[in-house]
Amino acid sequence: MLEIRDETFEGTFPFAPRYGRVNGVLLHFVDEGQGEPVVLLHGDPTWGYLYRRFIPPLSRRYRCVVPDHMGMGKSEVPPEPYPYRLRHHIANVEALLLSLDLHAVTLVLHDWGGPVGLGFAMRHPERVKRLVLMNTWAFAPWPGGPLPRLLELIRSPRGERFVLERNGYVEPALKGTTHRPERLSESVMAAYLAPFPILDSRRALLCWSRDIPVDEADPSYPDMRRIEQALPIFTSIPVLLVWGMRDPVLPEPVLRRWQRVYPHAVTCEIADASHFLQEDAPEAIVHAILEFLAAPL
């Protein structure tokens, strides 16, 4: 939300706000440091704040670009009606990264950031140098087993009231899939909730969950299938898999599936982390990413 453009959240997010207008929507992004670009994409229901502890150490050696998807974080909420489909998020990220003319990109992808980032990558493989995949997926249908109860609720007829009127999604999602929820202090949770103060600002939260393709009739199923079919394009570039092993949303079998897709990948399993592993083990993840980036190709 533009109203929080200059908000630093008690100094925990001190990065200068930058904006680019893409496809009629003003997208916010962080752009810190110099060198080879490292693009970090969040998923649902978070925003770039998820990477607040990644940006300072990574930007000492690399250029860190951290966009907020439309309707999330400090990005603009598009005018109604808007479907917020996977293809729209891919088009937005594509337009932003092309406008920045980024090459030799390392994509760091989490949750919905995986399909979005890989959707960009399959269109522009010549611009992608490395992949870092963290508790994400790019498979149709949904590979994580039965959908978590919270996602089922959001996809039910009661979901609109729960998400839009009661603002009931962000806090239970974060606390329920973080191994150490006590680290989510009141100020941290306030920062995650800040972009969603009113009903209309919560539309993206509702649409992300409802856009997960679980069968062929779902609108984003063909797009997800195309991304899955394109995954072999990246078998010749370095891949790092970083996985919170206590994730109930995308559990260990999904990691093993990624390992079959990319048998050459380096894997970093974090035993005491859940889905939002950035909150559980930021130092360990940053260390793994820096080692990966420094390794000879």
- The residue from 42, 69, 88, 275 that is catalytic is 275
275 as an active site residue: the answer is yes
- The residue from 68, 211, 247, 280 that is catalytic is 247
Helix, coil or strand: residue 41: strand
Q: Which two tokens stand for residue 208?
A: 């992300």
223 as an active site residue: the answer is no
Contact 50, 276 (CB under 8 A): yes
Neighbours of 222 (CB within 10 A): 14
- 98 by Cβ neighbours in 10 Å (0-12 / 13-18 / 19+) ranks as middle
CA–CA gap between residue 106 and residue 201 (Å, rounded): 31
Which strands sit side by side in the sheet containing 63-67, from one edge to the other?
Answer: 18-22, 25-32, 63-67, 37-41, 105-111, 128-136, 239-244, 266-270
Q: Which two tokens stand for residue 190?
A: 């306030």
Strand pairing class (37-41; 105-111): parallel
Residue type, 94: E
- The residue from 31, 44, 68, 111 that is catalytic is 111
Q: Which two tokens stand for residue 92?
A: 């937005």
Instruction: Write the DSSP symbol of residue 184.
Output: S
- Candidates 234, 7, 255; CA nearest to 127 is 234
Asked whether the CA dihedral 56, 54, 30, 240 is positive or negative, the reply is positive
42 as an active site residue: the answer is no
Active site residues: 111, 247, 275
